[in-house]
Amino acid sequence: MPLLDPEVSDQLGMLQLLDDATAFRSSRLEQLCPDCRGRRKCTEHAFDQHLVEVYKARYAAAWAEAFTAMDPGDVGELMQADDMPPTAVMLGAAIAARLREAAASGPVVTELDGQLVVIELDGQDLIEHQLLPAGNESPPPAPGISERKL
């Protein structure tokens, strides 16, 4: 199965890059510093704080741009999952869109979470079937994908 559309892949890469950059600068801000005076930051940490704000603003803009290419229903459903980071929501929506595209002309076999599955469309809903039974306990379906027993 082909990879994500290059443009979508770039958008997701930018979201992840900004996530990582924000996490890096935030962790620097959390370190104890003998030169910071309470809320008054030293030059180095004031710059970190500035960058965190810049990264967060860019992230919000990049997320909004990526959102315009996604199915709002997929995004809404994924956002209801507890603790799902916004970048993971966008990745899930991109995967759902790609699966929907791939399954448009009939069921497709692909690998999700290490399991071979058959994906087919029921209207606009993605239906996932286990290709091989993995024992008594089936893993939960991937977010945004409903499961129907055969």
Tell me whether residue 39 or residue 149 sits nearer to Zn ion (CB atom): 39
DSSP string, the chain: -----HHHHHHHHHHHHHHHHHHHHHHHHHS--TT-BTTB--HHHHHHHHHHHHHHHHHHHHHHHHHHTS-HHHHHHHHTSTT--HHHHHHHHHHHHHHHHHGGGS-EEEEETTEEEEEEEETTEEEEEESS--SSSPPPPPTT-EE---
Taking CB atoms, the residue at the shortest distance from Zn ion is: 33
According to the binding rule CB under 5 A, does residue 51 interact with Zn ion? no
Choose the binding region for Zn ion from 7-15, 20-28, 35-43, 87-95 (rule: CB under 5 A). Answer: 35-43
Least Å from the CB of residue 10 to Zn ion: 35
Interface with Zn ion (CB under 5 A), residue from 4, 17, 29, 36 = 36
Taking CB under 5 A as the rule, does residue 27 contact Zn ion?
A: no
Instruction: Give residues in contact with Zn ion (CB under 5 A).
Output: 33, 35-36, 42, 45
